[in-house]
């Protein structure tokens, strides 16, 4: 027989049933599983079954008694009639009353031993027997079952059994009984009874149950591989039969669909196809159903962008970000690929990398964050589509729990992660990770899967897709360097000093200086990822996606000063009804703005607050009435003063 199509976990389970007295089944336990008929000429795909039915098909029904238990249904087995099921379950409760048992909330069954009755007028005395004790007896003793040589018991939801117990001591007793069932010697038998614990993850049960226990084997159930997914599609029937076309190697939409569904369960694939059937989506357009399944919408904002969107983006960026022509040119190139659907074509067909990946490096206040917001407004029509994360909040190793959610059992588990929740809510967005160098290096590992595959599984097992996002990192890596403190005579104290400074703020930067900034910041980013041992993250970013923002130039500082000054005067006029006449002080403010250009546009804004807004507020407070207009003047010491131009009557 061939048997090569049968999943590895099924072959492994079949091999060790009767060899190991304890088997832990973990992983993809809630899926459908393919059932094959092994023939000399090859395996024949029959159907898909749930886990119970799959285990039934793997045991020798002629010689094995197979029982199941879960906290919801209690003990059960698959017999054709209720009477046959009661008869099959009877050996488990041999020695107790045949009175029908009931399951209790603490994973016990309520039974009455035969021959015991209460006093006169009282009901028969009930005795509570642990499920785990019944299991231990069934595994360790030889039950009198006609025609059956061995017993296999499957405990479904085994990782949740302890949650059904009200007291910790009861949970410990339960696991002690289960451990005793697997460690009892059965060396005289060629085959032994087996207990199968079905869990989400093997470490959901206490480690002392399986550590150093040679009688227990862990079998992992993986999501279906490419061949299984293709066979599944090839054997669709009923209303989904038209989608058999997707299994063909020479059918491009099917080939892409098989690649895209990497990591999905067979149940999820069936759900996608049912969505397609319900929405009357044909196999040629199956990608629409896949998008609907991932993002909850059929519309794709990227495909609905106008033809002149690139011109619109360019004008929007130039309006909001001054003096960064080279940086904006690189940003436009990345956005062009995204808009035209050409992102990630150099990678495998199964890759769903984000639409764009950018790393903004540069001094503070030069427009890095503003560029991200402008992109969000230009592409998605809303500046709020820029989801910003200040990475200084994620300095600690365990801070990744804030982004992706806390593990089960920890505070905040139910709330999920900040990043995964945000992307689930807005799958079409610009995601900005500000000042990435301030985050713990261990958090950066989480970005590997996002940048490569465009998806991440949150703490609750939900897959979040990043394939329709633009991801932007910002940093000022490379602008400072570490040197010895000259005030320390021993030379052990280190401090950081600027690695690049503007020689003369009142002069335009030379092309040589700007080239030096580009080279030093680019190299600083590369050195940073190598120093923290994350070169693979740099490789996923791509050298061409490192965008260097320059110090704002002299003329840019003057332009920003005029822009911010006009905006402030407009707000004061609209909200306070005061006209501010600034012609006489503009040159003074421009000169002061140029001196602040090493701190970028933010430094210019701080200067205007200090030199213009503060004295303006102080002057208005001294006036008995609100003036109609104020004239700005320059004092002898270069400070800004004000006088009433005229009053409104």
Query: Is 593 among the domain residues?
Result: yes
CATH number at residue 469: 3.40.50.300
Q: Which pairs count as long-range contacts for 389-392, CB under 8 Å and 24+ apart, including other chains?
A: 389/418, 389/419, 389/431, 389/432, 389/433, 389/434, 390/434, 390/435, 391/433, 391/434, 391/435, 391/436, 391/437, 391/438, 391/439, 391/443, 392/435, 392/438, 392/439
Same domain, 524 and 560: no
Same domain, 73 and 87: yes
- Distance, in Å, from the CA atom of 184 to the CA atom of 24, rounded to the nearest integer, reads 17
Q: For residue 366, what are the domain limits?
A: 350-550
- Within 8 A by CB and 6+ apart from 166, the residues are 105, 106
- The kind and range of the H/E element at 131 are helix 131-140
b/e map of 58-87 (b: 16 or more CB within 10 Å)? Answer: bbeeeebbbbbbbbeebbebeeeeeeeeee
- Do residues 58 and 33 make contact, with C-beta atoms less than 8 angstroms apart? no
pLDDT at position 1 is: 41
Confidence of residue 108 (pLDDT cuts 50, 70, 90): low
- Distance, in Å, from the CA atom of 334 to the CA atom of 471, rounded to the nearest integer, reads 11
How far lies 495's CA from each of 274, 395, 479, 502, in Å? 62, 20, 13, 20
- The kind and range of the H/E element at 297 are none
Query: Is 316 among the domain residues?
Result: no
Same domain, 437 and 502: yes
Query: Is 322 among the domain residues?
Result: no
pLDDT at position 115 is: 42
Same domain, 413 and 519: yes
Q: Given a cut of 90, is residue 154 above it in pLDDT? A: yes
Q: What is the pLDDT of residues 218-239, one digit of tens each?
A: 999 999 988 889 989 998 988 9
Environment class of 263 (CB within 10 Å of its CB; exposed 0-12, middle 13-18, buried 19+): middle
Comparing 574 with 499, the larger pLDDT belongs to 574
Number of folded domains that form the chain = 4
Can you read off the two tokens belonging to residue 417?
A: 């992660």
Same domain, 230 and 217: no
If you count them, how many residues does the chain have?
Answer: 649
The CB density around residue 169, as the number of other CB atoms within 10 Å, is 9
Same domain, 357 and 505: yes
b/e map of 275-295 (b: 16 or more CB within 10 Å)? Answer: bbeeeebebeebebbbbbbbb
Q: What is the pLDDT of residues 14-56, one digit of tens each?
A: 999 988 999 999 999 999 998 876 666 666 677 888 999 999 9
- The kind and range of the H/E element at 448 are helix 446-453
Mean pLDDT of 75-96: 84
Q: Are strands 64-70 and 74-76 parallel, antiparallel or unpaired?
A: antiparallel
Q: Are strands 108-111 and 102-103 parallel, antiparallel or unpaired?
A: antiparallel
Query: Is 314 among the domain residues?
Result: no
Query: Is 87 among the domain residues?
Result: yes
- The kind and range of the H/E element at 327 are helix 325-339
The DSSP 8-state label assigned to residue 341 in this structure reads: T
pLDDT at position 159 is: 81
CATH number at residue 558: 1.10.8.60
**Helical H segments across 184-285, by residue range:** 207-210, 226-234, 252-260, 266-278
- Distance, in Å, from the CA atom of 223 to the CA atom of 229, rounded to the nearest integer, reads 10
Query: Is 372 among the domain residues?
Result: yes
Confidence of residue 246 (pLDDT cuts 50, 70, 90): very high
Q: What is the pLDDT of residues 357-384, one digit of tens each?
A: 999 999 988 999 999 998 988 888 888 8
- Distance, in Å, from the CA atom of 306 to the CA atom of 289, rounded to the nearest integer, reads 24
Where does a domain end: 532, 550, 568? 550
Same domain, 238 and 364: no
Q: Which of 529, 539, 296, 586 is nearest to 428 (CA)?
A: 296
User: Considering Cα of 237, then 241, then 246, then 251, what sign does the dihedral take?
Assistant: positive
Q: Are strands 480-484 and 470-475 parallel, antiparallel or unpaired?
A: unpaired
Comparing 485 with 12, the larger pLDDT belongs to 12
- Distance, in Å, from the CA atom of 254 to the CA atom of 30, rounded to the nearest integer, reads 25
CATH number at residue 77: 3.40.50
The percent of residues in the chain predicted with pLDDT above 90, rounded, is 31
Confidence of residue 3 (pLDDT cuts 50, 70, 90): low
Same domain, 176 and 230: no
Q: Are strands 546-548 and 455-457 parallel, antiparallel or unpaired?
A: unpaired
- Distance, in Å, from the CA atom of 401 to the CA atom of 416, rounded to the nearest integer, reads 9
Same domain, 502 and 562: no
Comparing 415 with 525, the larger pLDDT belongs to 525
Comparing 546 with 202, the larger pLDDT belongs to 546
Same domain, 356 and 378: yes
The DSSP 8-state label assigned to residue 620 in this structure reads: H
Q: Among 255-264, 282-291, 338-347, whose mean pLDDT is lowest?
A: 338-347
Q: Given a cut of 50, is residue 113 above it in pLDDT? A: no
- Distance, in Å, from the CA atom of 539 to the CA atom of 267, rounded to the nearest integer, reads 35
Can you read off the two tokens belonging to residue 265?
A: 């369960």
Over the chain, what is the mean pLDDT? 83
Where does a domain end: 221, 251, 283? 221
Query: Is 404 among the domain residues?
Result: yes
Mean pLDDT of 183-197: 73
pTM of the model: 0.70
Query: Is 361 among the domain residues?
Result: yes
- Distance, in Å, from the CA atom of 588 to the CA atom of 614, rounded to the nearest integer, reads 16
Where does a domain end: 163, 188, 221? 221
Same domain, 402 and 471: yes
Same domain, 448 and 512: yes
Q: Given a cut of 90, is residue 612 above it in pLDDT? A: yes
Q: Which of 401, 362, 419, 410 is nearest to 598 (CA)?
A: 362
């Amino acid at each position: 027989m061939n048997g090569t199509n049968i999943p590895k976990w099924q072959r492994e389970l079949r091999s060790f049933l009767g060899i190991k007295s304890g088997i832990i089944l973990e992983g993809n336990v809630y899926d459908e599983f393919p059932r094959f008929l092994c023939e000399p000429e090859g395996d024949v795909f029959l159907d898909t079954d749930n886990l119970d039915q799959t285990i039934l098909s793997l045991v020798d029904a002629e010689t094995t008694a197979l029982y199941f238990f879960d906290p919801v249904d209690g003990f059960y087995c698959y017999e054709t009639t209720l009477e046959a099921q009661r008869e099959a379950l009877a050996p488990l409760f041999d020695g107790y009353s045949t009175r029908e048992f009931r399951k209790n909330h603490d994973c016990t069954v309520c039974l009455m031993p035969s021959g015991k009755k209460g006093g006169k007028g009282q009901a028969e005395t009930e005795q509570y027997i642990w499920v785990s004790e019944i299991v231990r007896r069934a595994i360790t003793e030889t039950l009198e079952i006609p025609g059956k040589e061995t017993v296999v018991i499957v405990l479904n939801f085994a990782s949740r059994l302890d949650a059904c117990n009200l007291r910790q001591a009861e949970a410990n007793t339960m696991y002690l009984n289960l451990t005793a069932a697997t460690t009892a010697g059965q060396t005289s038998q060629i085959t032994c009874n087996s207990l199968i614990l079905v869990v989400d993850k093997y470490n959901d049960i206490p480690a002392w149950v399986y550590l150093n226990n040679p009688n227990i084997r862990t079998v992992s159930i993986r999501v279906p591989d490419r061949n299984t997914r293709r066979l599944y599609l090839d054997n669709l029937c009923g209303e989904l039969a038209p989608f058999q076309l997707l299994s063909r190697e020479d059918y491009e939409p099917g080939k892409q669909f098989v690649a895209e569904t990497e990591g999905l369960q067979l149940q999820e694939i069936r759900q996608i196809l049912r969505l397609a059937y319900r929405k009357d989506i044909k196999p040629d357009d199956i990608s629409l159903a896949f998008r609907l399944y991932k993002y909850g919408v059929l519309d794709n904002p990227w495909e609905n962008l106008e033809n002149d969107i690139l011109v619109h983006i360019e004008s929007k960026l130039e309006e909001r970000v001054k003096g960064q022509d080279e940086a904006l040119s690189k940003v436009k190139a990345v956005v062009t690929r995204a808009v035209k659907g050409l992102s990630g074509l150099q990678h495998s067909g199964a890759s769903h990398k984000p639409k764009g990946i950018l790393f903004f490096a540069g001094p503070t206040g030069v427009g890095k964050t503003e560029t991200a917001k402008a992109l969000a407004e230009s592409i998605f029509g809303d500046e709020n589509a820029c989801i910003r994360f200040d990475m200084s909040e994620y300095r600690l190793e365990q801070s990744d729990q804030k982004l992706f959610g806390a593990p089960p059992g920890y505070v905040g588990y139910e709330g999920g992660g900040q990043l995964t929740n945000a992307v689930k809510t807005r799958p079409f967005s610009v995601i900005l990770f500000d000042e990435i160098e301030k985050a713990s290096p261990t958090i950066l590992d989480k970005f590997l899967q996002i940048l490569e595959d465009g998806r991440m599984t949150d703490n609750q097992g939900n897959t979040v897709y990043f394939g329709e996002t633009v991801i932007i990192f910002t940093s000022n890596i490379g602008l400072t360097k570490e040197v010895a403190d000259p005030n320390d005579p021993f030379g052990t104290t280190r401090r950081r000093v600027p690695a690049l400074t503007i020689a003369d703020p009142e002069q335009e930067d030379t092309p040589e200086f700007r080239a030096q900034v580009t080279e030093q910041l680019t190299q600083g980013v590369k050195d940073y990822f190598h120093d923290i041992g994350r070169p693979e993250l740099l490789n996923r970013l791509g050298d061409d996606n490192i965008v260097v923002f320059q110090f704002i130039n002299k003329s840019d500082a003057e332009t920003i000063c005029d822009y911010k000054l006009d905006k402030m005067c407009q707000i004061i006029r609209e909200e306070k009804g005061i006209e501010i006449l600034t012609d006489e002080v503009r040159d003074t403010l421009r000169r002061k703005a140029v001196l602040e250009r090493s701190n970028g546009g933010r430094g210019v804004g701080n200067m205007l607050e200090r030199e213009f807004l503060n004295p303006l507020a102080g002057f208005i407070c001294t006036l008995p009435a609100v003036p109609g207009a104020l004239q700005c003047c320059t004092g002898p010491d270069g400070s800004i003063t004000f006088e009433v131009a005229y009053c409104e009557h």
